[in-house]
Amino acid sequence: GDSVTQMEGPVTLSEEAFLTINCTYTATGYPSLFWYVQYPGEGLQLLLKATKADDKGSNKGFEATYRKETTSFHLEKGSVQVSDSAVYFCALRGSGGSNYKLTFGKGTLLTVNP
Amino acid sequence: AAGVIQSPRHLIKEKRETATLKCYPIPRHDTVYWYQQGPGQDPQFLISFYEKMQSDKGSIPDRFSAQQFSDYHSELNMSSLELGDSALYFCASSLVGVHSYEQYFGPGTRLTVT
């Protein structure tokens, strides 16, 4: 079945540091890929998405590129802020039939210190 | 813009009791998904409905049931509650065929079983 493997955390960075959170996936066909962010005590918010190979999703300074050859969708940000502290989930949606459910990675806790 | 509404936001029940969680999707969205997120865990897909019919089923215990009503809201019914059912329950909605079936999440219902 579909699966997502995400870089284990926690990740602690200083403000303005470069962020990379690795994500690789296993799926049949051509899944869509997503990054969700969860702030403390809140729900899941879609951060960015990519629906086909070589697509780059971007939002709020975050970027991720759908790499089919390496089955990866790594999240990057050039300069993190304290307000980026949250849990980040990589997720995929399968491409077959009515399989619209999301499969999530384990999540990566990011803490950014001033 | 209207978001997904979930009620109640917090619920405390004792073992062997029943609980009903409600979800009101974004207006005009035709698909509802339920996810369970245990403490420190990734969200796990439970069940989904498209146009009031069950469309997919995940790791939902037999003690749980769900349905989607004519106004598209959905209810997750949980019986014979166990301590292990304590979790954050998310509802998400989407409009099939639009925006790559992007799912929008509600704030979640935190269920505590004592």
Q: Which of B23, B46, B105 to mutate to test the interface with A (most CBs of A within 10 A)?
A: B105
Q: Give me chain B's average pLDDT, please.
A: 92
Q: How far apart are CA B112 and CA B81, in angstroms?
A: 10
Burial tier of B98 (Cβ tally within 10 Å: 0-12, 13-18, 19+): exposed
pLDDT at B77 over 70: yes
Q: A-B interface: how many C-beta pairs under 8 angstroms?
A: 59
- For residue A29, the model assigns a pLDDT of 81
User: What are A20-60's pLDDT values in tens digits?
Assistant: 999 999 998 889 999 999 998 888 999 999 988 999 999 99
From the list A107, A28, A33, A89, the residue with the least C-alpha distance to B102 is A33
- Decide if B110 contacts B36 (C-beta within 8 A): no
A83: helix, strand or coil: helix
